[in-house]
């Protein structure tokens, strides 16, 4: 029997964001009249492709229940984990009864509020016939150095170096089993790396440079600038 393939969004949002030096996790800082995470979730919800959005939230998070979006009918709240990969796995388990192994999951950082519907569509259109899936990524315009201590040990060949962004898009069953196999491995800083450990070769799809991750205080002003100039 065939069934239609669903798309699910998974948002790890259980980090503390130490590099922001703020009084609260970075996803709760204000940006253009809303919190960072509200922008992110509202953009995913309005993209018109996701059956639901599973969000991983820390058990000690006092801010989440106060946001209107936390009660949205297509938002599912899951417990956060120790590392990003643990949070993603927890969110995947929260939709286990709803998702099929061959459904697509797009994992997107809570801290990337400038994601556009056009980038989401571009990723889906590029990969939905693919066996494995892949990620949005950006090539590097800067020359990249391998640094040991405070000196340069070499220059990388930047034609082969890309920066991994999100969303990262994989089949539900494959992603869940790859993350389970990699549990506790500190080298898993994104979903693609868990699939790479299985010997698979995720694709890259060139993303937009305005899909920045809020990491340092000055990123909020940059995100606001991008939002004011985006039209899709
Ligand atoms: O810290 P970093 O910017 O790499 O985090 C990327 C995303 O992973 C953020 O949205 C953060 O909230 C999330 N995260 C998580 N659980 C953790 C650590 C990070 O959901 N234990």
Residue 130 token pair: 């693919």
| Beta carbon of 111 within 6 Å of any ligand 1 atom | yes
Distance 3 CA to ligand 1 centre (A): 33
Distance 115 CA to ligand 1 centre (A): 16
| Beta carbon of 11 within 6 Å of any ligand 1 atom | no
Say what angle helices 117-127 and 36-46 make with each other, to 10 degrees.
50
Q: What is the mean pLDDT of residues 190-218?
A: 97
| Beta carbon of 27 within 6 Å of any ligand 1 atom | yes
For a pocket test of ligand 1, which of 25, 26, 111 has the largest count of ligand atoms closer than 8 A to its C-beta? 111
Largest Cα separation within the chain, whole Å, is 60
Distance 2 CA to ligand 1 centre (A): 36
- The tens digit of pLDDT for each residue in 145-170 reads 999 999 999 999 988 999 999 999 99
**Per-domain residue ranges for the chain?**
7-229
pTM of the model: 0.96
Domain 7-229, what architecture? Alpha-Beta Complex (3.90)
- The tens digit of pLDDT for each residue in 33-87 reads 999 999 999 999 999 999 999 999 999 999 999 999 999 999 999 999 999 999 9
Distance 87 CA to ligand 1 centre (A): 8
Residue given tokens 């960072």 in the structure block: 36
| Beta carbon of 179 within 6 Å of any ligand 1 atom | no
From CA 205, how far away is CA 133, in angstroms rounded? 10
From CA 86, how far away is CA 189, in angstroms rounded? 10
| Residue 134 near residue 203 (C-beta atoms within 8 A) | yes
For a pocket test of ligand 1, which of 26, 90, 109 has the largest count of ligand atoms closer than 8 A to its C-beta? 109
- Residue 215 CA, closest ligand 1 atom number: 3
| pLDDT of 209 strictly over 80 | yes
In angstroms, what CA-CA distances link 43 with 27, 115, 205, 227? 14, 7, 20, 11
Question: What mean pLDDT value characterizes the chain?
Answer: 96
């Amino acid at each position: 029997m065939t069934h239609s393939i669903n798309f699910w969004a998974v948002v790890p949002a259980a980090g503390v964001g130490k590099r922001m030096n703020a009084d609260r996790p970075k996803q709760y800082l204000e940006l253009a009249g809303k919190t960072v995470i509200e922008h992110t979730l509202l953009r995913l919800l309005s993209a018109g492709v996701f059956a639901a959005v599973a969000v991983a939230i820390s058990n000690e998070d006092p801010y989440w229940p106060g946001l209107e979006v936390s009660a949205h009918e297509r938002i599912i709240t899951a417990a956060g984990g120790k590392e990003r990969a643990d949070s993603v796995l927890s969110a995947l388990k929260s939709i286990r009864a709803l998702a099929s192994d061959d459904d697509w999951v797009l994992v997107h950082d809570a801290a990337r509020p400038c994601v556009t519907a056009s980038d989401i569509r571009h990723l889906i259109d590029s990969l939905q016939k693919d066996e494995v899936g892949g990620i949005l990524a950006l090539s590097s315009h800067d020359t990249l150095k391998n640094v040991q201590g405070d000196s340069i040990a070499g220059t990388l060949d930047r034609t082969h170096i890309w920066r991994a962004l999100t969303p990262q898009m994989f089949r539900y069953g494959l992603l869940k089993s790859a993350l389970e196999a990699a549990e506790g491995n500190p080298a898993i800083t994104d979903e693609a790396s868990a699939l790479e450990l299985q010997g698979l070769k995720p694709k890259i799809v060139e993303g937009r440079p305005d899909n920045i991750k809020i990491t340092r205080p000055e990123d909020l002003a940059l995100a606001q600038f991008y939002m004011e100039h985006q039209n899709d």
